[in-house]
Amino acid sequence: MFLISSNKACIVIADVSGKGVPAALFMTMAKTHIKNYGLLDMPLKELAFRVNNRLCQDNPEEMFVTAFVGMLDMEKGRLIFINAGHNHPYVSFRDGGFHKLDCQSDFVFGLWEDMEYREQEVDMRKGGKLFLYTDGVTEAENKDGELFGDSRLEEALNLDSGNGGPKEIIRAVSREVTDFSGGTGAGQTDDITMLCLEAPGR
């Protein structure tokens, strides 16, 4: 997350295909492009279009990045976002628990040039919380090869009715994933990244 202005923040979570040094470098390029274009405060659909084309230009290994990129207006409580093939986030508001955000998924970054991306919007004025994650969370396995999955994630988010702050929520999910996979991390086949934020106005 980084600030665009005193009342606007860019929220990003992304995941790259592949592993090792090439994947790490490709992800670094993606993050750099997102931040550089984000600081220009251009419309998100244009940012996504440009980031995708830049990543397509030199990609002989045909790697790709999934990404959720949002612009949060902290005064109006409005979150405008694009979803480039990433896991759908979870949201909660003052009067209810976490549930998966009903949103559209567009194409990942880095494979096909000139893709169009749709701007979507969610109203965070009700004191909303947003939970973003990579698929290392839901794809964590236990000793029987069972995945942690979406339903367990939603249950973990709603422990104590989801009334904790962002740090407490991330700790709760991390604890549940660790317990599920046997406490050793042996069931973790992919990197785990989580981001939770609470919009002003709660």
- The hierarchical CATH code for the domain 2-198 is 3.60.40.10
- What is residue 161's predicted lDDT score, i.e. its pLDDT? 61
pTM over 0.75: yes
Alpha-carbon gap, residue 41 to 62, rounded angstroms: 29
- Category of 111 on φ-ψ map: left (φ > 0), alpha (ψ -120 to 50) or beta: alpha
- Give the neighbor-by-neighbor strand order of the sheet with 65-73: 2-5, 8-16, 65-73, 78-84, 120-123
For the chain (202 residues), the mean pLDDT of every run of 10, in chain order, is: 90 94 94 96 96 93 96 90 97 85 96 97 84 95 93 91 81 93 63 87 52
How many beta carbons lie within 10 A of that of residue 135, not counting itself? Answer: 17
Q: List the domain boundaries for the chain.
A: 2-198
pLDDT at 184: 56
